[in-house]
Each structure stands twice: as structure tokens, then as C-alpha cells.
Amino acid sequence: MNKDCHNIFFITDMDGTFLPSTKIPLEIDMAALNDFKQNGGKFAFATGRILQASYKYLEMGIANAPCVLANGSMIYDPVKKEVLYSENLTLNALSAVKFIYENFPDVSVEINTPDEVLVCRNNANEMKHINTVGFKNWRETTIEEAAKKTLVKVLFAGEKEAIDKLTEFEKLHPFGCGEFIRSSEHFFEVLPDGVSKGSALKRLREMSPPDTYFVAMGDFYNDSEMLKEADFAVCPSNAEPGVKEICDYICARSCEDGAAAEIIEKIIGESRFGGKNHGFRA
């Protein structure tokens, strides 16, 4: 594999796209990524995880380019170990969070600050989330205390039916502040105004050389804006139907058997493949 990949920036969602259910990177994906990076390629994550929930993977040296965290609220350079960009929630968005807390008692409220994770009204889905991502610095508190903090994003966790109800309510009665997204069957999030993985990818494009070609990969609806913004959009076979509709390429493999490796093999192995914005050339 001697293809020059110096102008290719491959950015992928973590959970359900790059990471399998075990949350341990697959050997086939790691081997393909090593080839890609050795040929000059840039690789990064675009995840809903905040910084402390991403450290485990960032410290492994998998990414060699700035990563999108908190669904677009932050851009972090794992090589320089510094935050390049961050955005916080406004007081108006905080009012919406309080309204949801008071009127949807079946969901927990996870408030992400720059320094810690605060949980108001814990539940089983929230605890599963905490254990899955491996939060080290978290504690339970009141919504009143949490409201005094600087908020990066807020995550509501609950059973699918409760999150369905919350999602539908927000669609019918938009709060008019913040960005509300469904990030999984059990999660609904509030981000700063104008923030998404897509808006973060636009910033990465501004930070990159003009000939950089962005390949983006994701599986869920919170990846949609990033996939639309990319030069070439791909998804694993386990992606949601609506996500598959906006992709240029649907992998035969899922996140459980090397979807990332499949697209890297395509990038390195072919001299040309077409994207919705322009064709890819070696």
C-alpha cells in the first residue's frame, strides 16, 4: 500500500461506527489505520463524548489530527493536547433544560462542564452510560447547583419511550434556543446554538490546507450534518436507514467486523472514487 494519502482527512464517529459493542478497537481497523497514517493520511474522531470520556482513545494515539468532541461543541488536538475551539450553552438553553427536568421525570439530566460531569436525577440508562464511557470525574447533584456551572452540553437519558416522548415534544414545541438532537435510542442532547458535527467539520476545513479531502463516517442521525458537509460520506452497514440515504458509500461491514478498515482499503486501494462534491483522485 503505497498510495499518497497526505491530502485525505478521514473522520469517523466513535460508538457504533469505529467502536464495536465491546468498546475495544478492532485489530483489523487499527492495522488499516496504521497503513493509512503511514501513507500520510489524517485520522480523527467526531464523537458525542466529552473530553474526559474520550481520553482513553486519544491517549492511545489512534487519532493524529484534531478531533470533534461533544457533538461539535469542542475541537481538540490530541497531538498538541490542547483545545482549539469550544462553545458553551447560553442561559436561555439552561431554562429549557430546567423545563425538561421539571416536566419529564422519567429522564435523567447529565450536565457536562469543562471539568466534571454532574448528574441530576440518576437512572439505569444514565448509569449504563457512565459505566460505558468510563467517566472518572462525575457526581450527583441538584439542578440548582448544576445551573451555576459553565455548560458544554446536556444529555438526557431514559428508556426509549421516554426519549421518544421528549423528542416529539421538542419538535412540536421548539424551545428556540440551543440545538436539540437525538443521539441514540436512549439519549437526547442539548448543544450550543449552531453547533453540530457538521459545523465543527466546517471549522476543521478552515484549519486545513485547501486541497484537503474530507471523508466522514457515521451511523446515527447526530452524524448527518457532518456527512452532508464531507466530500465523501460513508456509513457502516448497521447505520440508521435515514443515514444510509445521505451517504455516497454504504459499507458491507458493520462496526462489529471492520467497517473502518473497509473504507480505508477503498481509499488506499483505488486510484479514484467519486463523492457528491467532486471525484477523488490519487
pLDDT average per 10 residues of sequence, the chain (282 residues): 82 97 96 95 96 92 97 96 94 91 96 92 96 90 91 96 96 91 95 96 97 97 97 97 97 97 86 41 32
CATH code that applies to domain 91-191: 3.30.1240.10
Q: Note if the pTM is more than 0.85.
A: yes
pLDDT at residue 268 in the model: 79
- Continuous H helices in 208-246: 224-229, 241-245
pLDDT of residue 278: 36
CA separation for the pair 8, 243 (Å, rounded)? 22
Measured between alpha carbons, how far is 93 from 174 in angstroms, rounded to an integer?
11
| Residue ranges per structural domain of the chain | 8-86+195-281, 91-191
- Residue 275 is predicted with a pLDDT of 41
pLDDT of residue 136: 83
All residues at 6 or more sequence positions from 173 whose CB lies less than 8 Å from its CB, including other chains: none
C-alpha cell at 91: 442561559
What stretch of H or E contains 92?
helix 91-103
Q: Which residues pair with 215 in a beta bridge?
A: 10, 232
Model pLDDT, residue 270: 62
Domain 8-86+195-281 has CATH 3.20.20.70: no
Tell me, what DSSP letter sits at residue 71?
G
Query: DSSP characters for 42-54?
Result: EEEEB-SS-HHHH
